[in-house]
Every structure is written in structure tokens, then in C-alpha cells.
Amino acid sequence: MNKTANLTIRRATIDEASLLADLGARTFYETFAMDNTTEDMAAYLAASFSPALQAQEITDPNITLLVAEIDGIAAGYAKLELSGHPSCITGPNPVELSRLYVSREFIGSGVGAALMESCISEAKRAGSTTMWLGVWEKNERAQAFYKRWGFKEIGEHTFLLGTDAQRDLIMQRGV
């Protein structure tokens, strides 16, 4: 059975702030909890995935939040952000792919690829010609995924998870 036969990708709506907060916290936890302390995870989740923050992001004209659904069930999401960027970004008109997460049960089913295709389309529609992201140096699965999509490592920055300063690789590609 094809898990993605009824896959849809759409923009998040304001009434989905709680859904995005729950989905974001759950997928982040699934991805990183085993490699981080309980305290650092709790601090990051509390600061990053409240319904109020998600509502603010949904209404921000510089942020695009996409939700992937299969048969009406949220399977993943992505966040594009037009904002500042590190000096190592060399391409013009950059947009950050600041989040792309898929629920554990849907990893490997094509949801991530569908979200990436939608992010590239959204970036083009917004006039961006460069997409960049930061990915944890220890997240080899994500790095491999991004490399398959043509992202190249061009630098690094520090990502603060709770009190833990972690090294993220900066990657970019043209859109």
C-alpha cells in the first residue's frame, strides 16, 4: 500500500496553531531526544513550539508554513523564512528552510520529498533564487537527504538547544 496516495501539501491556517505546536514538538523530540539531555530538550521545546508562537509565525508575511497530510492526518511540516542569513550564503535572494520534519511513522514514505518540492515551488513563487538551511552535524540522515536535493555544505553556525551549543552545518542550493 502506498502511504502517500492521499498526500496533500498546503499552507497552515491560523486555526492550526495548536496542531503545529504539537506536531513540531513531537517530530523534533522524535528526531533529537536520544542525543540530548531531558533538560535541554524541554527548554527548547517550551521556547519553540507554543501555540502562541505558531500563531505568530502563521500570520508573519516573511514565514511560510506548509503542512503535509495523509488522509487528513498531519504527517509532517516545513517552514520557510525570509530573514537575515549568515555571511557564508553566497547565492542571491536567499530564503531559509528553517524546518522540515516528518512524523516517524512516515519517514521514507515520500512525505519529506513532497515537502521539499513544495518548499522549492514556494521559494520560486516568492522570488527567491537561493535556499539555505542549518543541519546538526550529527544528523547524518538529514544531511544525506539534503545532499540528494542538491544542497552543498558552505559553512557552519552555532545552534543553541537549551544550554547546549551545537554545531550546525550550513548548506545552500539554487531554486
**The domain spanning residue 135 has which CATH number?**
3.40.630.30
1 is a domain residue: no
pTM listed for this prediction: 0.93
pLDDT (mean) for 135-153 = 97
Q: What is the pLDDT of residues 15-38, one digit of tens each?
A: 999 999 999 999 999 999 999 999
Per-residue pLDDT at 151 exceeds 60: yes
Q: Which domain covers residue 159, as residue numbers?
A: 7-174
Q: Per the domain annotation, does 138 fall within a domain?
A: yes
Q: Check whether 1 has a pLDDT greater than 90.
A: no
Instruction: Give the DSSP per-residue string, 124-161.
Output: HHTT--EEEEEEETT-HHHHHHHHHTT-EEEEEEEEEE
- 51 lies in a domain? yes
**How high does pLDDT run on average in the chain?**
95
The number of domains in the chain is 1
